[in-house]
Amino acid sequence: MMIGVLGPKGSYSEKAAGQWLAEIFPGETASIHSESCRDPVLHYCDDIQDVFSFLREGPVDIGLVPVENSIEGSVGVTLDMLLEHDVTIIGETVVAIEHCLLSKGRKEDIRIILSHPQGLAQCRHFLKENFRGAELRTTGSTSHAAKLATEFEEMAAIASRESAQTYGLNILVSNIQDRKHNHTRFLIMVRSDEASAGYPYRSYEDRTYKTSIIVYLDRDRPGALYEILGEFARRKINLTRIESRPSKKTLGDYLFYIDLEGRTSDDIIKEAIYNVESKVGMLKMLGSYPASEPV
Of 4, 20, 51, 68, which lies in the binding site for its own copies, with binding defined by CB under 8 A? 68
Work out whether 236 is an interface residue with its own copies (CB under 8 A). yes
Separation between Cα atoms, residue 210 and residue 189, nearest integer Å: 14
Give least dist CB 57 to its own copies, A: 15
Work out whether 70 is an interface residue with its own copies (CB under 8 A). yes
Choice between 40 and 52, CB closer to its own copies: 52
Work out whether 85 is an interface residue with its own copies (CB under 8 A). no
Work out whether 245 is an interface residue with its own copies (CB under 8 A). yes
Q: Which of residues 20-49 bind its own copies (CB under 8 A)?
A: 49
Choice between 27 and 222, CB closer to its own copies: 222
Strands (E), 7-61: 41-45
Separation between Cα atoms, residue 216 and residue 231, nearest integer Å: 15
Residue 156: burial class (beta carbons within 10 Å; 0-12, 13-18, 19+) = buried
Of 244, 268, 271, 282, which lies in the binding site for its own copies, with binding defined by CB under 8 A? 244
Question: Could you tell me whether strands 62-69 and 73-74 are parallel, antiparallel, or unpaired per DSSP bridges?
Answer: antiparallel
Give least dist CB 101 to its own copies, A: 17
* Cα 291 versus chain centre, distance: 14
Q: What proportions of the chain, in percent to the nearest 5, are helix, strand and coil?
A: 30, 30, 40
Work out whether 219 is an interface residue with its own copies (CB under 8 A). no
Q: Which of residues 95-154 bind its own copies (CB under 8 A)?
A: 117, 120-121, 124, 128, 135-139
Of 27, 38, 108, 179, which lies in the binding site for its own copies, with binding defined by CB under 8 A? 179
Give least dist CB 243 to its own copies, A: 5
- Mask for 2-21, x = binds its own copies (CB under 8 A): --------------------
- Which residues does 228 contact at the CB level (< 8 Å), separation at least 6? 215, 217, 256, 276, 279, 280
Q: Which residue, 150, 148, 154, is CA-closest to 105?
A: 154
Q: Which residue, 88, 101, 110, 207, is CA-closest to 155?
A: 110
Are the C-beta atoms of residues 40 and 188 closer than 8 Å to each other? Answer: no
Give least dist CB 71 to its own copies, A: 5
Interacting residues with its own copies (CB under 8 A): 49, 68-73, 76-77, 94, 117, 120-121, 124, 128, 135-139, 178-179, 181, 183, 185, 222-223, 225-226, 229-230, 232-233, 236, 238-246, 248-254, 294-295
